[in-house]
Amino acid sequence: MTADEQQIRALIDTWCAASNAGDLAAQLNLMTGDVVFLTAGQPPMSREDVAANFTSMMKTVRLRCRSNVQEVTVTGDLAVCWNHLEVEIAPLAGGPTARRAGNTLTVLRRGADGQWRIWRDANLLAAV
């Protein structure tokens, strides 16, 4: 495994840990300024949209994220990561936990500082 692949796998692990902890600041550090997230049935989301949605969500739910990286391909300062993601969404007030799972395809960019960050993300999670 190359050093780039190790860094990208660590980024995915850090993203899940930040999601589980409700740590928006950590997540923002893992995104480029012009990041775009694509999800089924929703318009594309910018960094600001993701931050607002996450902040709102964390007031009412707790997340539990698990990822299983399937493939990482690095070409220069761009990388593609195919990941199988499982998310549990538990209401803080109690009630049934929603479960979603599926594949994500993430394009990452290496910044001038040498760090990989999420640039584009297509999320195909469905209820399970």
Q: What is the CATH number of the domain that holds 97?
A: 3.10.450.50
The pTM assigned to this predicted structure is: 0.95
72 exposure class (CB count in 10 Å sphere: 0-12, 13-18, 19+): buried
Average pLDDT over residues 10-20: 98
What pLDDT digit, counting tens, does each position of 53-107 carry? Answer: 999 999 999 999 999 999 999 999 999 999 999 999 999 999 999 999 999 999 9
- Look up the domain containing 46 and give its range: 3-127
Contact 65, 87 (CB under 8 A): yes
Total number of domains constituting the chain: 1
DSSP-assigned beta bridge partners for residue 49: none
